[in-house]
Structure 1
Amino acid sequence: MLLLGGFVFAAAPVPQASATAAAPREFIVGYSAQGRPISAVQFGTGPRKLVVVGNTHGAPEANTYRLTLALIEHLRAHPELVPDSVRLFLIPTVNPDGMAIGWRFDAAGVDLNRNMNTNIDACPENDWQITVQGAYGFISDTGGPYPDSQVESQLVRAFLIDAAGAIFLHSNAGLVFPAACEHQPSIRLAEVYAEAAGYNYSRYWPFYHITGGMHDWAGGLGIAAITPELVTGDQIEFEENLAALSAVLDQADELLPLPEDGEVAGVPVPATIYRYWRALGGEERFGVPIEPARSSATGVSQTFQHVRIGLQHAQRDTLLYVQPEPLGVAAAEGLAYGGAGARTPHEQPPSEGIFFPETGYSINGNMRSFWLRGGGLTVFGLPLSHPFQDNSNSEQPRTLQYFERALFSYTAETGVQLKPLGVRTLALEELQQPNAAQMVR
């Protein structure tokens, strides 16, 4: 088991496709903020990943939790409903803390369906906000401190990064609506689901304004994403939703488009790495690609100006499927940007900030805020040095701090940015090639 970003999860083995239907696989995707398991059951091993997410809103929508459990049991008895082209995951609850507490929110009082980074799509009207509208249009500051701030939101982001489709079950309005921005795959998926379930189809949620919604986050990455709202708040409406899910599975090849490759600065980027790059900060955070993607027997990687993002086949359908590679570890060994004595660990934890006993270093102030907002341990890894002054040039003073997967640089004018470890690493690799041009002085 691994502890990352405040949650623990096990890296599950990847199921292998076979000519016969594989047995259902039940596993823990991750854990909630209060340590409760968030589990999934998988049916099928096909390339089109469809994820059904129940119970985002805790106790008030517990019927969606029971509905998802009922769908799982039906599929256990009828695995043939899942076609060869699909691998289907059902998550009964993504908010077990809200269920246990007895309210709509997570353990910190954040509405998980207002916490996602919807700023990445083309529609500014659904962008994440702290102040949000909730049930019955009630206005409150429950969007979270920043986009994807909550452990459960980060779990959704990581697990769905390679999804073809997503169904977020809610109650109770008796309608189905798709992601915003006229995303045609989402619209078509919502139409099919609504017709088969006997629910109304609505182009938008008609009762109040939603920002930071999971469906809009997913649609912004190209995932066909919908929100079915059950008619009641206490019944599971099993037959209706089974018919709808069956209709989606019957038309999976049409309704669930595979992730598409992207292009950044004229360089092709593989589909899942492209989604990760966009979802976690894009060019502003990671820079542009500086080489084509590399493929190997174990995965795919691509170097960007500030990081190298890697995809590991063995980690498919876990939270570690896509991550920056640990370029900071090699750079910190030689303290490539100066900072004598910067790697002497603390003997005692500091009084403020976040202390990591694994390495003996802490994160404070602006570095801490950037680290948290950018994805924390799963993106940047552990700190490998104290913050220290960079004396390598005569420019304005800057503070640096090494992490496993990045090097932070801070000035008062620019704030915290990433240093170009991708550029450095690629240059060193090229120099080490047997046919590298040698400089003669």
Structure 2
Amino acid sequence: MTKWFTFLSTQYSAKFISVGIILVSLVGCSQSIHPVPIAEERVESPGITAHDVRQTAPSKMEFLPISRCCVIGRSVQGRDIYLYLFVHTESFEDSMNLKPNVEKVLILGGTHGNEPTGATTAHRLVAELQKNPHLYVNRYVAVVPEVNPDGLAANSRVNANGVDLNRNLPAANWRLTKRDNAFGGLSPNSEPETQALTKLIERFKPDRILTLHSIAEGRHGNNYDGPAEQLARRLCEKNGYPLLKTMGYPTPGSLGTWAGIERQIPIVTLEFARCRSTERCWTENAQALIEFIQNTDVETCRSEGEKTCSQPSEDTRNKFGR
């Protein structure tokens, strides 16, 4: 029988009870729960390296009342893969379980270790959400800043087994390929990092997924899979990046195929320009990130009673983007 642990903390405010809650299976998560690390805000040079990611990953540990951090798995070399879950609901009772009528958003960074801007941006987002719980009212927001911690430590696209995690998903189009930087493993879902990710998606059941990558200048943009074109277009309006209907090369065993096409979960792959600093990427994309979290386009929200969609105020948008 699957056992579940619930970790709760509350913070009272004038209107809401802010609750940090995480429900994780013993199969998919370490029993040890760590305090939430605070990502430092640091301007980085365009020549950012994976070492910079490890340095900006929080040195100060602080226990905060509106979020929880959990280890959902471990890498090939035994590094923890952290999940941060944020919840802000109108009542304590509503937060005791993952309610089906509340939107669930999943944001991923650091899938490719030689694209560290995705990880540092995800850490920055975690810090902003900790300071601004009003940004995710009536939503669950889950963030995994470092899907591939071994790759980040080694400044390597692949994990410690030499596998491209974004070619290792158990999609129907997975195939055995030559051993290069796009090697998808000896079998689908063979890697511990991929297994942690697929278990998370199957249990959390996100309504949409955003995954942060980087690519050569001029090829950056908002790519999408599944029913996510309109969502990707709204991100284009916020960050000024082009819409990428395809990346121009095959991606067998990718997250976009497995989650977006096969499971019809709207998924956007936000490709930063690799030469740009983390600070610039954050400045360009802060509004796009809040748009993705809040999903304010009423046409993409489910009917009332199925999904809760709230319109952010202009003050909220301005505050987050500073």
TM-score tier by shorter-chain length is 0.5 to 0.7
Shift of 1:257: 6.1
1:32 aligns with 2:78: no
**Residue in structure 2 matched with residue 109 of structure 1 by the alignment:** 162
**Residue in structure 1 matched with residue 95 of structure 2 by the alignment:** none
Against the structure 1 CA distance between its residues 226 and 141, is the aligned structure 2 distance closer, same or farther, given a 3 Å change threshold?
closer
**CA–CA separation in structure 2 for the residues paired with 1:105 and 1:163:** 25
Moved over 6 A (4+): none
**CA–CA separation in structure 1 for the residues paired with 2:141 and 2:105:** 5
1:71 aligns with 2:125: yes
1:213 aligns with 2:257: no
**Residue in structure 2 matched with residue 57 of structure 1 by the alignment:** 112
| 8 A contact 2:76–2:160 mirrored in 1 | yes
Against the structure 1 CA distance between its residues 149 and 89, is the aligned structure 2 distance closer, same or farther, given a 3 Å change threshold?
same
Shift of 1:141: 6.7
**CA–CA separation in structure 2 for the residues paired with 1:73 and 1:256:** 27
Normalised to the residue count of structure 2, the TM-score between the two structures is 0.65
Normalised to the residue count of structure 1, the TM-score between the two structures is 0.49
Supply the AA of the counterpart residue of 2:230.
Answer: R
**Residue in structure 2 matched with residue 241 of structure 1 by the alignment:** 285
1:171 aligns with 2:214: yes
> 2:277 is paired with a residue of what secondary structure?
coil
Unaligned runs of 5+ in 2: 20-65, 89-98, 304-322
**CA–CA separation in structure 1 for the residues paired with 2:177 and 2:302:** 34
Shift of 1:167: 0.7
**CA–CA separation in structure 1 for the residues paired with 2:255 and 2:131:** 30
Task: Point out which structure has higher relative CO (alpha carbons under 8 A, 6+ apart).
Answer: 2
Against the structure 1 CA distance between its residues 249 and 102, is the aligned structure 2 distance closer, same or farther, given a 3 Å change threshold?
closer
**Residue in structure 1 matched with residue 195 of structure 2 by the alignment:** 154
**Residue in structure 1 matched with residue 35 of structure 2 by the alignment:** none
1:13 aligns with 2:54: no
**Residue in structure 1 matched with residue 295 of structure 2 by the alignment:** 251
1:189 to 231, 245, 248: 231
Mapping of residues 112-123 of structure 1, within 5 Å = 112-119=165-172
**CA–CA separation in structure 2 for the residues paired with 1:13 and 1:34:** 28
**Residue in structure 2 matched with residue 93 of structure 1 by the alignment:** 146
Supply the AA of the counterpart residue of 1:56.
Answer: T
**Residue in structure 2 matched with residue 352 of structure 1 by the alignment:** none
**CA–CA separation in structure 2 for the residues paired with 1:141 and 1:63:** 19
Against the structure 1 CA distance between its residues 249 and 101, is the aligned structure 2 distance closer, same or farther, given a 3 Å change threshold?
closer
Across the two proteins, how many residue pairs are aligned to each other?
Answer: 231
**CA–CA separation in structure 2 for the residues paired with 1:65 and 1:88:** 16
Share of identical aligned residues, percent?
27
**CA–CA separation in structure 2 for the residues paired with 1:140 and 1:64:** 18
> 1:205 is paired with a residue of what secondary structure?
coil
**Residue in structure 1 matched with residue 315 of structure 2 by the alignment:** none
**CA–CA separation in structure 2 for the residues paired with 1:118 and 1:178:** 16
**CA–CA separation in structure 2 for the residues paired with 1:81 and 1:63:** 23
Unaligned runs of 5+ in 1: 1-9, 120-126, 134-138, 259-441
> 1:113 is paired with a residue of what secondary structure?
helix
**CA–CA separation in structure 1 for the residues paired with 2:163 and 2:187:** 11
Post-superposition Cα deviations, 1:276-311, rounded to whole Å, max 9, x if no partner, equal xxxxxxxxxxxxxxxxxxxxxxxxxxxxxxxxxxxx
- Greater Rg by CA: 1
**Residue in structure 2 matched with residue 413 of structure 1 by the alignment:** none
Shift of 1:102: 2.5
Post-superposition Cα deviations, 1:148-193, rounded to whole Å, max 9, x if no partner, equal 11111111111011111111100023201111xxx32x22222222
> 1:160 is paired with a residue of what secondary structure?
helix
Against the structure 1 CA distance between its residues 197 and 11, is the aligned structure 2 distance closer, same or farther, given a 3 Å change threshold?
farther
| 8 A contact 2:164–2:181 mirrored in 1 | no
**Residue in structure 2 matched with residue 200 of structure 1 by the alignment:** 242
**CA–CA separation in structure 2 for the residues paired with 1:255 and 1:240:** 24
**Residue in structure 2 matched with residue 265 of structure 1 by the alignment:** none
1:131 to 173, 177, 189: 177
Supply the AA of the counterpart residue of 1:177.
Answer: N
Shift of 1:95: 0.3
| 8 A contact 2:150–2:160 mirrored in 1 | yes
> 2:146 is paired with a residue of what secondary structure?
coil
Against the structure 1 CA distance between its residues 191 and 11, is the aligned structure 2 distance closer, same or farther, given a 3 Å change threshold?
same
Supply the AA of the counterpart residue of 2:177.
Answer: T
| 8 A contact 1:26–1:41 mirrored in 2 | yes
2:135 to 78, 81, 94: 81
> 1:44 is paired with a residue of what secondary structure?
strand
Mapping of residues 275-424 of structure 1, within 5 Å = none
Against the structure 1 CA distance between its residues 146 and 242, is the aligned structure 2 distance closer, same or farther, given a 3 Å change threshold?
same
Shift of 1:254: 5.2
**CA–CA separation in structure 1 for the residues paired with 2:282 and 2:266:** 22
